[in-house]
């Protein structure tokens, strides 16, 4: 019987973060990039999914500023070059510009789960 942790998509995502990688799945049947990790392809339903590490490069698709009582922060959607989109933030940047190039990194905060955030690449400033 296979190890249940090997089958748990979220556990595989966390294992990627623990080694500093943004992981996603690639469908062997239809070629779709799949993110968040899941048991089957969101396009064709195949269970033939290969785990891959993203290079972490992408383009900002959308950017919003959230105004909070304690602090303001941005919320972004990033189109990764591998073909999937994810939501995150660009720390230390007030309002990143749509179309800006970004690079992912794993941020580890004490007492919290690691998370993927994005930094503007060289030449991109807002």
CA distance 27 to 15: 20
CA distance 118 to 31: 25
Q: For residue 60, give both structure tokens.
A: 């900002």
Token pair 């309002």 in the structure block, residue: 95
pLDDT at 26: 97
Of 5 and 112, the structure prediction assigns the larger pLDDT to 112
φ/ψ (deg, to 5) at 11: -65, -40
DSSP state of 46: -
Instruction: Parse the chain into domains and list their residue ranges.
Output: 4-53, 57-120
Residue 30 has, within 13 A of its CA and on its CB side, a CA count of: 12
Chain segment 26-66, per-residue pLDDT in tens:
999 999 999 999 999 999 999 999 999 999 999 999 999 99
Q: For residue 108, give both structure tokens.
A: 């580890």
Chain segment 78-108, per-residue pLDDT in tens:
999 999 999 999 999 888 999 999 999 999 9
pLDDT at 109: 85
Q: What is the pTM of this model?
A: 0.88
Q: For residue 39, give both structure tokens.
A: 């048991």
CATH of the domain spanning 57-120, picked from 3.40.50, 1.10.3470, 2.40.50, 1.10.3210: 2.40.50
């Amino acid at each position: 019987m296979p190890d249940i942790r090997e089958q748990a998509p979220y556990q595989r995502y966390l294992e990627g973060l623990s080694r500093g990688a943004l992981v996603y799945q690639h469908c062997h049947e239809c070629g779709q990039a799949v993110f968040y990790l899941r048991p089957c392809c969101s396009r064709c339903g195949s269970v033939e999914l290969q785990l891959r590490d993203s290079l972490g490069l992408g383009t900002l698709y959308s950017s919003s500023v959230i105004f909070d009582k304690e602090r303001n922060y941005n919320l972004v959607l990033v189109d990764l070059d591998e073909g999937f989109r994810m939501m995150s933030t660009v720390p230390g940047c007030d309002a990143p510009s749509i179309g800006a190039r970004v690079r992912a990194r794993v941020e580890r905060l004490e007492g919290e789960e690691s998370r993927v955030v994005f930094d503007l690449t060289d030449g991109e400033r807002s």
